[in-house]
Amino acid sequence: MPGPEQPARPDGRPERTAKGPPGKNTGDADDTGACENSDTGRRPSGPALAQGAHMTQPGPGVMPGLEPPTAPGPDGPAGSERPAALRPQLEVFLARHEEELVAFRRDLHMHPELGYDEHRTTARIAERLRMAGLEPRILPKGTGLFCDLGPGDGPTVALRADIDALPLQDEKEHAPYRSTVPGVAHACGHDVHTTMVLGAGLFLAQQAEAGLLPGRVRLLFQPAEETPGGALDVMAAGGIAGVDRAFALHCDPRIEVGELGLRSGPITAACDKVYVKVTGPGGHTARPHLTADLVYALAKIVTELPAALSRRVDPRSSLSLVWGRVSAGSVANAIPDDGVAEGTVRCLDDEAWHRAPEMMKALLQSVAAAYDVEASLEYVRGVPPTVNEAASVQMFRDAAAQVLDEEGVVPTPQSLGGEDFGWYLESIPGALARLGVRTPGSPGEYDLHRGDFDVDERCIPVGVRVLAATALTALWDGARPADPETVEGATLS
């Protein structure tokens, strides 16, 4: 159980202690238990403009998005002093529920399910929410759900988790919670994401019951993030209807437990697939002038398209085309009559992402015509870039200041990996943060989407603290300033 409330600082926040392990280690838990920035010259457009998601340029020598945290003033963002008793309340909650949450995560880890097959996972989440007196709504396809808590007459904030696993073999041979499903594993931390949102939801449900929420919190448990497509299913089912902001955490094995990685602007990239087919009259390699020399033409397409694309957009968009498979012909002395190239397009800018298919189609036709071949393009949309709104990132920072230690917030770089949370941020403002899951001082390199991926489970209570505090901070900031009773009722005590 936590000790007595810490003495308040002049700004009303508790004094923070020296950095230490973020919570107790519950490794012996039962495996089967229940559970506006300055402008860079590029004008955002469409959804990015609507959410104020400008790329930042804080000054010489500072990369956009990596600016240091801005400390809130003594009166807080809304202009009136906030109580500072959230951290002790969270410690009381976690003292009662941390072992249960760790056991819940281990249960999910032992029973991973691929996208749109998360029936057991969905049932386990719904069961625990109903135990807390909540009413989850299962998505139409039968996997994934969302659940509201708190009054509906104020702002609404969404906390999102993804629940699907990966088609990988779990290689953690000595872990008691190793996957029991051959060829399927939670190698991206979605079991952790689910558990943290569940834990934050259970805590916030208690706050709602006590009348301490000035608005509504919506818990989104999304299927099929890896497929991808689950975010679109949530949206089609009304999952973000009426939501003012959305927040999510993603495990990051490069960051230590107890740290939160933040960045304004693009944090992950769009990721699309492209399939190019080239056809033309084949022939003998001794007489290429009598054919279209299809292999040579395909080679030109493979080399010239990425270079041409990079000159058609602002280089700060980081639009890149990289080929993963090129195939043509079967023997050395015959020019084939068809060939293919497959690759991915990645981009950090929403506007450039929307323009990419038409740009690529035009460039492809231009190169193909020069070599007298026919070329077709199949462009498969994946996910948009995840563009963090600066105000939402600040809410993460303000929340972390209440529940983490002094060094808890760290800058995090952009990634060209895809994350379908970006679909939500096309419609509403919000932010994705990276949660440290690496044991402090541990040797070696770790990454996601590996069969040996695992987390230091002390990250779970850290994530619960951050998500709960962020939801409360966003609701508090979103309350109507002219309504003193609403603001007064939105206390964090």
Give the model's pLDDT for residue 67.
42
Give the model's pLDDT for residue 150.
95
Give the model's pLDDT for residue 74.
37
CA dist 396 and 170 (Å) reads: 33
Give the model's pLDDT for residue 228.
85
Contact 126, 54 (CB under 8 A): no
CA dist 240 and 158 (Å) reads: 8
CA dist 80 and 479 (Å) reads: 12
In 3D, which of 170, 78, 32, 25 has the Cα closest to residue 482?
78
Give alpha helix (H) positions in 185-280. 190-209, 230-236
Q: Tally the C-alpha atoms within 13 A of residue 143's C-alpha that lie toward its C-beta.
A: 19
**Three-state SS for 58?**
coil
Lookup result for tokens 């498969």? 380
**Three-state SS for 429?**
coil
Read off the pTM.
0.79
At 115, which helix (H) or strand (E)? none
Contact 364, 357 (CB under 8 A): no
Per-residue model confidence as pLDDT tens for the chain (493 residues): 333 333 333 333 333 333 333 333 333 333 333 333 333 333 333 333 333 333 232 333 333 343 444 434 434 333 334 444 899 999 999 999 999 999 999 999 999 999 999 999 999 999 999 999 999 999 999 999 999 999 988 899 999 999 999 999 999 999 999 999 999 999 999 999 999 999 999 999 999 999 999 899 999 999 999 988 899 999 999 999 999 999 999 999 999 999 999 999 999 999 999 999 999 999 999 999 999 999 999 999 999 999 999 899 999 899 999 999 999 999 999 999 999 999 999 999 989 999 999 999 999 999 999 999 999 999 999 999 999 999 999 999 999 999 998 889 999 999 999 999 999 999 999 999 999 999 998 887 778 999 999 999 999 999 999 999 999 999 998 643 333 333 233 333 2
390-403 and 86-110 are packed helices; what angle lies between their axes, rounded to 10 degrees? 100
At 341, which helix (H) or strand (E)? strand 338-347
